[in-house]
Structure 1
Amino acid sequence: MKNLLLILTLFLLTNLAFSQNGTVSGTVTDNNKTALFGVNVSLKNTTKGTQSNENGEFEITNLENGNYTLSISYLGFKTREISISVSNNQNTKLETIILYEGNEILSEVVVEGERRNKFSRKKTAYVSKLPLKDIENTQVYSTITNELLQSQVVTNFDDALKNATGVEQLWASTGRGGDGAGYYALRGFSVQPQLVNGLPGLTNGTINPANIERIEVLKGPSATLFGNSVSSYGGLINVVTKKPYVGTGGELSFTSGTYGLNQIVGDFNTALSKEDNLYFRLNTAYTTEQSFQDAGFRKSFFVAPSLSYKVNNRLSFSFYGEITQAEQTNPTFLFLNRSAPTESANLEELGYNNKLSFTSNDLTLLNPTQNYRIEMDYKLSDTWQSQTLLSKSSTSTKGYYSYLFEFGILGDDTFSRFISKQNANTQTTDIQQNFIGDFKIASLRNRIVIGLDYFNATETSNNSGYAFYGNITLEGGSNGDNPFTPDVVETDLFPLSTAGVDGVLESQAVGNNKSSYNIYSIYASDVVNFTENLSAMIGLRLDRFDNKGDLNNTEDDFVQTAFSPKFGLLYQLIKDKLSVFANYQNGFNNVAPQLVGNPEDGPQRLETFKPEQANQLEFGLKTNFFNNRLNATISYYDIKVKDRVIIDPNSPFNRIQGGEIESKGVEIEINANPLKGLNIRAGYSNNESITTKTDDPLILNKRPLEAGPKTLYNLWANYEFQEGKLNGFGAGFGFNGASERFVKNYTTTGNFTLPSYIVANASVFYQADKYRIGLKLNNAFNKEYYKGWSTINPQTPRALLANISYKF
């Protein structure tokens, strides 16, 4: 902390010295003298630039004396270039700049040189479905940029999410049908990545990072704008993909590393027709990787075509697709039994040889996934825009899934193996219509989105049942004592092969299940500026959940209506530099009807329930100091979940809505660029979560297992020399850490604790105009550590990666 304070002090003094340079400012309007908001204003051949505010005003500071060319560009208007001169460190005030409508497409902004604060990109149209800057948004979110992933030589989605403050992996992607994507703890609740470019995008496997432009992790219940199908009470994860741009170019990259990692990534962008403003981009990757254990692998082929077509200044179309063909062995988790006393309370007592996988490369899962999205944007007027969106997803699982379960009755920490043959598919369709406005009523600026949303999910499962397939001890022993028989019955040990498994699964029934549900929603959100510095956000969602359940059984159908409000208040103490905020956010979960009543008194009746609710109160501050060199967010939140269905304490045959959970905590995130070439990302979170009301005495007043560790922290610093003989050389260093966590924590059956950990990573690289060469060392000190959620999942030891990339 002392070193960090010293760096920040030097940083402040340096910027105070720079502040003595000149500035240029002005106002941008259209031909009707209407101020234009969000106009791109940049100095050609420099890294300096900004955007106009709602009054059309802009200012660029810290300019050295000299002559410059000011470029002013805005979608639907002709770009203007103005020559200016700065002398004697004076402030240059330009006359009003008028932009005229034209037929040119707005080119991608090309920054020559280094962009400030590479690890922070805090303006997005997805978080609030409005183009809000972070400094004026009452919701807290973390952004993981492509530049940050590149500096860390990231080859998988799990490593990418280690950069998000307050996020911890619970378990890796299993690939099994229905819920095979990875699970992560966020503000005390589990969440899966199910959103791509603001729309549903599902997977039964891991997400390929080759097409990631950035990852946005929204904090807290977010049902008002996104519903409950893709979010949790802790928040949601939105993956923003790479998109076509004006021009021709691309990149080829190859990464090779420990444990058989080889990854080839390609990125190509070109114009299909410059005259028609039709551009195409293709991202693709092929990856093979083995496990650090005695068996296990994953290989995948990924391709992501995208297309943009600008018909005219008012109408444009976009298409995005991601197609994955993947095969893997599922990670063999150790599942702990909540209902039986545990024999061991920690890893030392367990005696786990984590180099053993207890599986075979012959038992694999296929996980093909497809996501497609079409977007139509139409400018209705100067103040209103229409956005029509369609997304389709298909994700499948086919192959063998196995897990190990601790019955607690066989002794010697024995786990029983169970295997199923998976054959499942999930299809989703989402249609959205948004109307986005930016206008004034009297003197109050309103930025509003009004939307309609239809979502459908259909799941088909032809999975087999789970068959017992022998026992193992964690030191490597095995036996065939079937835990379902009262006596010790030694069966023949089975080979871990498809032939052996198929022979046992012949006696298992194969399911024939198909289920579906629909969600019909309407939502609205408005950001009102009472003054330039004071704004409020208010939103509401009406959600109609129509569950068809098993399509062969009409008795499990039910419908349910939910309301989800949202409110936020923000005041900018220093315009565009420092803001304080408070928010109220809501999430909900639909609850299926249940049979209640004592059967001895007659037929049971079907009891319906209102949706379960989660409400968050949060307040904090956000900064954007020194021309985007220092971004920080500090917040405190309190989430209360209520109306969980539990057993009535007065009657074991009745159900009531009385269960409650409380999750509260503090989060701090810092993105800094204190010196040219030095970028720092740091995060800290502390979460207190407890089940306060429940009918289950095992978990009452306990921390939920899905909450993960109480404390998480992360740091990554990357420095690149800017001049001299070492120009282009650089190095990075960072770490991730977590406090100990319970993966079993029950009143009568005992606890199992995973220890705290700190894992360090480092890199060195050389960056030239056209190519980059880098080495990355993950888990540099070879730390043995584990993660889990009622499971024990060993993590990868030390691994070395080598990367070479070429841009064209």
Structure 2
Amino acid sequence: MTNWAFTRFRLCTMLFSVFFLCFSLAAFSQSGKLKIKVKSQEGPLPGASVVINNGDKNGITDHDGEFEWKNVTPGEYEVKISMLGYISQTKTLTIQNEEKTHLNFTLEKQYVDLQTVEITGRKETGYKNTNSFTATKTETPIREIPQSISYVTKELINDQMAFKMMDVLKNISGVSQNSYTNNKYVLRGFESESKQTLINGLKTFTGERSADILPYVERVEVIKGPASALFANTSPGGTVNIVTKKPLAESRKAINFATGSYGTIRITSDFTGAMNQSQTLLYRLNLAYQNAGSFRELQNKQSFVIAPSVSFLPTDRTRINFDLVFINDNGRNDRGQPSYSPVNGVRDLYATPTSLSLSRVNDYVKAQKIFSTLSLQHNFSNHIAFNASYLKGVYHEDLREHRTANKNAVDEDGNDIPDLMEMRYNYRITDNITDNLTSYFSFRFNTGGLEHRLLTGYDFIQSSDGFGNTTAEALGYLSADGKSALKKYDPAKKEKYMIVDGRPVTNVPSVDLRNPDYTISDPAKYISTAEQDKLGKYYTQGVYIQDQLSWKQFKALLSLRQEFYTDIAGYGTPATTHVNQKALLPRFGLVYTPLKEISLYGTYVYGFQPQEAGYIGDPAKYGGPFDPLESNMIEFGVKSGWLNDRLSATLAVYKIEQNNVLQTANDLGNPDLLRQIGQVRGKGIELDVYGRILYNLSITANLAFNNTEITKSEDKDEIGKQAANAPKSQGGFWAKYDVTRGAVKGLGIALGANFQSKRESGAYDITLPEYTVANAALYYRIDKIQLSATFNNLFNKTYWLGADSFTRLFPGTPRNFLVGVGYTF
């Protein structure tokens, strides 16, 4: 054999040997399978983190709480299961050749208090929410809280294709809208204030003319009644809390597009998931843009929101979260629909079209809001935890608007001209900065048969207006020479005014309600006066202690807060005065659970709203001095869960008293003069229902009967008056049915309605009629794509949400629709 032949023979032999060896290994290799199942006492746990051999293999459990690993090399493995809110578990096992090994985990809840700002996303899907953090500053089942807590979840927000706060509050009992102004709501008959809105349980100023936008919102909660024991100065009717979406460990991505009536164009997106394999760094990003017109003339608006959120979990005991929300609004300020002055003593709501506004095309309101929150939770053990959260809120507004002077124009004899509205023009710059720090320790321990969840902490809240806050205002009537303006017209001194065609000439042209002028105005022709706005700054500090006790079928909540409130009179001027007010704020409640499905509760809470320092510090202008607003509430109710806890219901009966209420004195010589009318009392009953009747039939329903009236006043004619914009009865429902089998599988149908009884305007000069509005929606899901269509005010009902006076009516939207397409991946 030649050398070349021998070489080829040896090479072939080597290649054959390698091939045979590979074939043998493939044919006789050993492997196994590992199936992991994770659950809690309530059932399977989807989204639990699975880490094998410190990261050699990672994953998360599916919707059934399961994770499977195929083709596993036989050997010994360490498996760690973890999930936020649960105690981690680690097990070691040996996987044998060609065997399927099953490994089961049952995680126990980590009984420490999650922080006030929820650091992880809500994993429930549907209209029902089980727990609340805000109402007690601990993770507490709503069934165990001795106070009514109402809410709207993101699932309902999505199903109704809602974009602004005012679009969803109709789903909450006892809450009504009294204007288009942001956060001007009536809760149990009492008005709310924009400086009392909460973001993740932290107070901030969200603006009065820039709507709260919902695409970054996990849910909206309303804590019914005074919440001063938790959040210092609050409205006696209730407190609105916005809970933002938080990062999830499992990867979810969604993009939605919608269009519809009034030229609406909307796009939203929601992305969340883990940023590393160990799932210690999570993210969420919500983006949204909307350009929408309105049935109201010139009331189109552009809005966009950017809301990133990051959670860092370096250990099972330490959790850090950062949230940022940036909202930009660009539109016009809608002061409502003006109506004619009364003819023969009768006001006709229908005399002017609901589309009528008083804006001009070059009016605008531009607003930017930034809310940033940094939160920390550290568990020293399963019994002791520390929580700290800090929120920085920044609000900026640039406003130019034509608005009514809240009265009709007059002729030279001072008589009202019914179809002419006297106007004024405002150019305003507004800035506000809010700081809110909350920190507390929580302890879990037993004394004999009593279980305790004890909190003790400190809060600091500060809110200040910008020194540059200024309003340039033009109003009143021109002087005879046209070089100045007088605020009021006095027919006894006609010679002081410019009179043309039998009418004094207004500084800002009056609006003819029969033929309004929406064209470009020239504010340079107005005689304007620029003044620094009445600036405000306050800070308040509170120390508190709270104990949640459990004994057999009883749970009690005992809370006491000492509040130190400081308002700065004359803020922005060289002469400032610190006005100090303080209050001791108790809160007591008891829950009794005779059956698993039913909890009975009763509660007493005390509320506190300091009067503004400007009112207290300037008695010559405003009257006074005035005592702080004080309120108290007694509430009893029943909370229940039905159909294996798929459906929950809360029935509440309450009485609220508020003392030392300020109202205008109606003094023509001093329009700023105020007086304390004495007492306002609200009594009512409410019902809220949430959840699923069937696994594919979801429902939310609410009903409220309320009587809030003046019960003490120096003016005897005021006693017995119903609170402004507070209906005595209201309610609604929304039900969605999903077809899960058959030829139309994936189809969803929803129906809903809302009603309110008649209400009085803020000036008690007009009565708004009762109304019922019907709504509907259709959905169709094909794999990862969902088509949606909502139809609001199906029967094109003309109605009004609320009114300040006959010059400012706030009509509801006529029949309208939205259609959308969404893709999840």
Matched, 1:780 2:794: yes
The one-letter amino acid of 1:149's match is: I
1:61-91 Cα shifts (integer Å, max 9, x gaps) = xx9xxxxxxx996646334799xxxxxxxxx
Q: Which residue of 2 aligns with 1:680?
A: 699
**CA 1:723–1:72: 2 relative to 1, 3 Å:** farther
Aligned with 1:468 (options 475, 480, 488): 475
Q: Which residue of 2 aligns with 1:6?
A: none
1:676-733 Cα shifts (integer Å, max 9, x gaps) = 2101111100110111112345633211215x21111111010001111121101000
Q: Which residue of 2 aligns with 1:501?
A: 523
Matched, 1:705 2:724: yes
Contact 1:481 1:490 in 2 (8 A): no
Task: Work out the CA distance in 2 between the residues paired with 1:655 and 1:285.
Answer: 43
Give unpaired runs (5+ residues) of structure 2. Answer: 1-37, 48-63, 65-80, 93-103, 409-414, 479-484, 495-502, 511-516
1:294-314 Cα shifts (integer Å, max 9, x gaps) = 322110121001110011121
Matched, 1:356 2:356: yes
Contact 1:332 1:402 in 2 (8 A): no
Task: Work out the CA distance in 1 between the residues paired with 2:255 and 2:692.
Answer: 28
Contact 1:520 1:543 in 2 (8 A): yes
Aligned with 2:761 (options 743, 750, 756): 743
Matched, 1:433 2:433: no
**CA 1:413–1:698: 2 relative to 1, 3 Å:** farther
The one-letter amino acid of 1:305's match is: P
Q: Which residue of 2 aligns with 1:129?
A: 137
**Could you tell me how far 1:463 is from its partner in structure 2?**
2.6
**CA 1:80–1:503: 2 relative to 1, 3 Å:** farther
**Could you tell me how far 1:642 is from its partner in structure 2?**
2.0
**Could you tell me how far 1:351 is from its partner in structure 2?**
1.0
Paired residue secondary structure (2:166) = helix
**Could you tell me how far 1:143 is from its partner in structure 2?**
1.6
**Could you tell me how far 1:402 is from its partner in structure 2?**
3.3
Task: Work out the CA distance in 1 between the residues paired with 2:716 and 2:419.
Answer: 25
Q: Which residue of 2 aligns with 1:18?
A: none
The one-letter amino acid of 1:215's match is: V
CA RMSD in angstroms, aligned pairs only: 3.8
* Count of equivalent residues: 697
Matched, 1:265 2:279: no
Contact 1:41 1:72 in 2 (8 A): no
> After the TM superposition, which residues 483-522 of structure 1 pair with which residues of structure 2 at under 5 Å, given as runs?
484-486=489-491, 487=494, 488-490=503-505, 493=509, 500-504=522-526, 507-511=528-532, 514-522=535-543
Contact 1:417 1:470 in 2 (8 A): no
Task: Work out the CA distance in 1 between the residues paired with 2:664 and 2:533.
Answer: 31
Contact 1:248 1:270 in 2 (8 A): yes
Task: Work out the CA distance in 1 between the residues paired with 2:542 and 2:342.
Answer: 46
**Could you tell me how far 1:438 is from its partner in structure 2?**
2.1
Contact 2:272 2:284 in 1 (8 A): yes
Q: Which residue of 1 aligns with 2:590?
A: 569
Q: Which residue of 2 aligns with 1:629?
A: 646
Contact 2:657 2:682 in 1 (8 A): yes
> After the TM superposition, which residues 6-25 of structure 1 pair with which residues of structure 2 at under 5 Å, given as runs?
none
**Could you tell me how far 1:514 is from its partner in structure 2?**
4.0
Q: Which residue of 2 aligns with 1:120?
A: 128
1:531-581 Cα shifts (integer Å, max 9, x gaps) = 2x1111111111111111332153543111111111101100113x10111
1:484-521 Cα shifts (integer Å, max 9, x gaps) = 353522459487666612431x5312326543111011
The one-letter amino acid of 1:579's match is: S
Paired residue secondary structure (1:259) = helix
> After the TM superposition, which residues 85-484 of structure 1 pair with which residues of structure 2 at under 5 Å, given as runs?
118-173=126-181, 181-192=182-193, 194-204=197-207, 205-228=210-233, 231-275=234-278, 277-334=280-337, 348=348, 351-407=351-407, 409-412=415-418, 414-460=420-466, 462-468=469-475, 484=489
Contact 1:78 1:100 in 2 (8 A): no
Task: Work out the CA distance in 1 between the residues paired with 2:109 and 2:354.
Answer: 66
> After the TM superposition, which residues 555-634 of structure 1 pair with which residues of structure 2 at under 5 Å, given as runs?
556-575=577-596, 577-591=597-611, 610-634=627-651
Contact 2:632 2:657 in 1 (8 A): yes
Task: Work out the CA distance in 2 between the residues paired with 1:595 and 1:589.
Answer: 13
1:276-306 Cα shifts (integer Å, max 9, x gaps) = 7112211010110112133221101210011
1:335-377 Cα shifts (integer Å, max 9, x gaps) = 799xxx9658776366122222221232101011100000011
Contact 1:296 1:360 in 2 (8 A): no
Contact 1:192 1:236 in 2 (8 A): no
Contact 1:138 1:568 in 2 (8 A): yes
Matched, 1:554 2:575: yes
Task: Work out the CA distance in 2 between the residues paired with 1:336 and 1:518.
Answer: 41
> After the TM superposition, which residues 522-561 of structure 1 pair with which residues of structure 2 at under 5 Å, given as runs?
522-531=543-552, 533-551=553-571, 552-554=573-575, 556-561=577-582
Task: Work out the CA distance in 1 between the residues paired with 2:364 and 2:663.
Answer: 39
Paired residue secondary structure (1:332) = coil
Aligned with 2:777 (options 763, 769, 787): 763
**Could you tell me how far 1:483 is from its partner in structure 2?**
5.8
Contact 1:42 1:72 in 2 (8 A): no
Contact 1:157 1:207 in 2 (8 A): yes
The one-letter amino acid of 2:88's match is: K
**CA 1:333–1:657: 2 relative to 1, 3 Å:** closer
Task: Work out the CA distance in 2 between the residues paired with 1:316 and 1:344.
Answer: 68
Contact 2:682 2:707 in 1 (8 A): yes
Contact 2:791 2:818 in 1 (8 A): yes
Task: Work out the CA distance in 2 between the residues paired with 1:233 and 1:752.
Answer: 26
**Could you tell me how far 1:275 is from its partner in structure 2?**
4.0
Paired residue secondary structure (1:695) = coil
Task: Work out the CA distance in 2 between the residues paired with 1:772 and 1:763.
Answer: 13
Contact 1:162 1:736 in 2 (8 A): yes
Task: Work out the CA distance in 2 between the residues paired with 1:713 and 1:497.
Answer: 41
The one-letter amino acid of 1:783's match is: K
Task: Work out the CA distance in 2 between the residues paired with 1:325 and 1:594.
Answer: 31
Larger radius of gyration: 2
Paired residue secondary structure (1:162) = helix
The one-letter amino acid of 2:364's match is: T
Contact 2:476 2:486 in 1 (8 A): no
**Could you tell me how far 1:224 is from its partner in structure 2?**
0.2
**CA 1:273–1:604: 2 relative to 1, 3 Å:** closer
**CA 1:469–1:270: 2 relative to 1, 3 Å:** farther
Task: Work out the CA distance in 2 between the residues paired with 1:677 and 1:550.
Answer: 59
**CA 1:553–1:442: 2 relative to 1, 3 Å:** farther
The one-letter amino acid of 2:361's match is: N
The one-letter amino acid of 1:169's match is: Q
Q: Which residue of 2 aligns with 1:17?
A: none
**CA 1:604–1:166: 2 relative to 1, 3 Å:** closer
Contact 1:327 1:364 in 2 (8 A): yes
Paired residue secondary structure (1:348) = coil
Give unpaired runs (5+ residues) of structure 1. Answer: 1-27, 29-37, 47-62, 64-70, 83-94, 174-180, 472-479
Task: Work out the CA distance in 2 between the residues paired with 1:514 and 1:107.
Answer: 35
Task: Work out the CA distance in 2 between the residues paired with 1:655 and 1:469.
Answer: 23
Task: Work out the CA distance in 2 between the residues paired with 1:366 and 1:249.
Answer: 33
Instruction: Give TM-score, length-normalised by structure 2.
Output: 0.77
The one-letter amino acid of 2:824's match is: K
Task: Work out the CA distance in 2 between the residues paired with 1:144 and 1:349.
Answer: 32
> After the TM superposition, which residues 65-76 of structure 1 pair with which residues of structure 2 at under 5 Å, given as runs?
75=85
Task: Work out the CA distance in 2 between the residues paired with 1:201 and 1:595.
Answer: 22
Contact 1:162 1:714 in 2 (8 A): yes
Contact 1:80 1:99 in 2 (8 A): no
